[in-house]
Structure 1
């Protein structure tokens, strides 16, 4: 099982290296196409693949559940390769944009990787840790790719780089073909000793209700995080920090903290969540609000502290989301669940990008951090209220089932897969 998990993670890192690295260099690529477009349109192209991935998420989720999660993962890797090849062969802006659309519409390796892992890992706690690791591989690619591509682009034509990069998803495809094939959901037949039919709708309704709230939390988290990204450099420059290497270090610091702590967060989470299943997630949003507010203090020391706390908040939020999702997941619907979970992250990022762009056009560089803090607090309050209302409702419906409901919600609970999975 360990070999399978790390094979999937390697494939995801390879694909993410290509997908997350090149958008940063769009301002270098566009002039080679003879395109004279302003910075606003360059920003639109930056988020275009993300937007297309979010739009296509529902379709590919249904595809994964119907035809198999490994097949969907292969589709995502092939889609990335095709999109990069089209961009590499582009000799005009229209063809390049078409390549970006293909990359986004037929890509989506994060959701596909998570969905495939859920078909192979039956223990909820282990699945939650694996979801943390797929996010870790994305963060690692986010740090390594700009450095590696920045060096290589100084030696080659940017469009040729797209052609080289299209090979990476094909390598990932080759590795994925060696992994076990999962059964599509509609081939998982009912067994005679399975859960009583009358209890299934109630259990599934409770689980889906919890997951819908996690989608909301994912959107709030993605928005609060991404809205601070686009104009971080000019924001810190107004505090007198002008060294670009130092600015880059401060920008990457939260991602570095995530890489350091993501593998250890379950130790803290097990203690925090012993009596309250959502404490790690609540702590994450609280720290996110505090760190965003700390950015507004005109002090380099406060800024460093804010970036470190921001990274810890990312660790807590991702772990809380992943563990809660894994513990309430209906494996027969994993394609739909993970595609929509990833789509909410994409929609949050797109909304944050538009908000940050509009706010920066007004010259209000501090406002994105204030907005991040406000959205984090709103999301935290909504999650606390939701849990209290859910707990009260569960008790009123049947006091004897409150403990079992709590176990279902607890992210640290190890659930045995039922016979229908």
Structure 2
């Protein structure tokens, strides 16, 4: 097959094949995040079959989520690259594109939740997992849709230039020349790769990114246990199996609305510069929902919870890549997203077993849900205070600059210094300087 010719784009196309990338990412989120969420429906089956407590059973879901965010294994090889590709193809409509792409998680949950329950009833949990495995094979089709794009800003990135320079020099040298100067070549290439790596991950020292990273840790800890324990909690308060699965479906379909509407709204000119605020608002609202969950002990009360939590969950999930891109820029988006989703891994691994241990210890879900709610609210408050501190610092710097500009030293004649107010016109200042020089020459 002929190698496709790479076209250099001055800016993201905001359309074209980009919409196929969105479709591919949409299918990826269905096959990864939606399937992982549906493990919550298997929770009671696993617990009954293996006769284990909540904490040990929760490791099944937490390890799957952690491996997706942490390793280069399984879902991780599909999820993070697909999300990064959307950011490369879109700029003006980035939030909308991410809203559509990430809505696959909600649509998949809406469809798969009742289907998985039916599969468990018909084929047991083993047969249901086999069928889900066949469905996940469609990730191969999603990968075929991904097409790399080369942007002008990528060539302006020093790390990319160094990589290209290294490749071009290596190609020009024959095997004999390389063998003669192999120690020098190895040393130079090592320095080049180290410099490239530093340039690629220099965003790690940005204060804004460090605050976002810490906030993500607390947010990920708070959101993960709910998807594991919503169905078991509903069953514990007397909700039937079908109704409990229906709660997951409601959460999934409202998640879609949150994805698309928040993506569309934050692309508007009036809200585009307030994406951070929209993100922390959505995270805080999900935290409040978790705080109220222990008092909702019937199906009619759990339905509004699924609506509210699902909507704001879809909202902030859509904004995570957008906010990350606003902080680090598009050239570093792929690496930054890798770090952000890597930070999801540890909370995803630990929070469900910790929540399960609290359920086993206290005999109720109250402590687990309260801990989740306060964790998400703290994540939101942390970002809020960081934004306020940054705004106060900017205001202080502007006031200092304004004060410095109000008085300027115009000229000096011997020991006498003359100063005038900043309100003087620049032309008047120049005329005064000319008159002073002529007087001194006399």
TM-score, scaled to structure 1: 0.66
Whether 1:255 aligns to 2:225 is: no
Number of aligned residue pairs:
336
Q: 1:73: which partner in 2?
A: none
Say if 2:225 and 2:352, in contact at 8 Å, map to a contact too.
Answer: yes
Say if 1:13 and 1:141, in contact at 8 Å, map to a contact too.
Answer: no
Within the candidate set 184, 197, 209, 1:211 is matched to 209
RMSD in angstroms over aligned alpha carbons?
3.9
Give matches, 1:11-410, under 5 Å.
11-19=24-32, 20-21=34-35, 24=39, 38=52, 42-56=57-71, 102-103=73-74, 107-121=76-90, 123=91, 125-148=92-115, 154=122, 157=127, 161=131, 164-165=134-135, 167-176=137-146, 179-182=147-150, 186-187=159-160, 208-239=206-237, 241-266=238-263, 268-269=265-266, 270=268, 273=271, 278-298=276-296, 300=298, 301-362=300-361, 363-397=363-397
Provide closer, same or farther for how the CA distance between residues 36 and 236 of structure 1 changes in structure 2, counting only shifts above 3 A.
closer
Provide closer, same or farther for how the CA distance between residues 112 and 298 of structure 1 changes in structure 2, counting only shifts above 3 A.
closer
Hey, what's the Cα distance between the residues in 2 that align with 1:205 and 1:320?
19
Hey, what's the Cα distance between the residues in 2 that align with 1:249 and 1:263?
22
Hey, what's the Cα distance between the residues in 2 that align with 1:157 and 1:311?
29
Shift of 1:277: 5.3
Corresponding residue SS for 2:295: coil
Provide closer, same or farther for how the CA distance between residues 27 and 246 of structure 1 changes in structure 2, counting only shifts above 3 A.
closer
Q: 1:193: which partner in 2?
A: none
Provide closer, same or farther for how the CA distance between residues 119 and 207 of structure 1 changes in structure 2, counting only shifts above 3 A.
farther
Say if 1:231 and 1:360, in contact at 8 Å, map to a contact too.
Answer: no
Provide closer, same or farther for how the CA distance between residues 342 and 134 of structure 1 changes in structure 2, counting only shifts above 3 A.
farther
Q: 2:182: which partner in 1?
A: none
Shift of 1:400: 8.8
User: For 1:63-87, what per-residue CA distance to the aligned partner results, in whole angstroms no more than 9, with x for missing partners?
Assistant: xxxxxxxxxxxxxxxxxxxxxxxxx
Say if 1:272 and 1:279, in contact at 8 Å, map to a contact too.
Answer: no
Hey, what's the Cα distance between the residues in 2 that align with 1:157 and 1:277?
43
Say if 2:99 and 2:263, in contact at 8 Å, map to a contact too.
Answer: no
Provide closer, same or farther for how the CA distance between residues 236 and 52 of structure 1 changes in structure 2, counting only shifts above 3 A.
closer
Shift of 1:338: 0.9
Say if 2:359 and 2:365, in contact at 8 Å, map to a contact too.
Answer: yes
Corresponding residue SS for 1:231: helix
Hey, what's the Cα distance between the residues in 1 that align with 2:309 and 2:83?
25
Which deviates more from structure 2 when the two are superposed, residues 132-141 or residues 319-328?
A: 319-328
Shift of 1:389: 1.3
Corresponding residue SS for 2:79: helix
TM-score, scaled to structure 2: 0.63
Which deviates more from structure 2 when the two are superposed, residues 322-331 or residues 204-213?
A: 204-213
Hey, what's the Cα distance between the residues in 2 that align with 1:399 and 1:164?
63
Say if 1:283 and 1:316, in contact at 8 Å, map to a contact too.
Answer: no
Say if 1:227 and 1:353, in contact at 8 Å, map to a contact too.
Answer: yes
Say if 1:285 and 1:317, in contact at 8 Å, map to a contact too.
Answer: yes
Provide closer, same or farther for how the CA distance between residues 108 and 273 of structure 1 changes in structure 2, counting only shifts above 3 A.
same
Say if 1:133 and 1:262, in contact at 8 Å, map to a contact too.
Answer: yes
Say if 1:215 and 1:344, in contact at 8 Å, map to a contact too.
Answer: yes
Shift of 1:337: 0.5
For the pair shown, the structure with the greater C-alpha radius of gyration is 2
**Which 5+ residue runs of structure 2 have no aligned equivalent?**
1-13, 164-198, 403-442
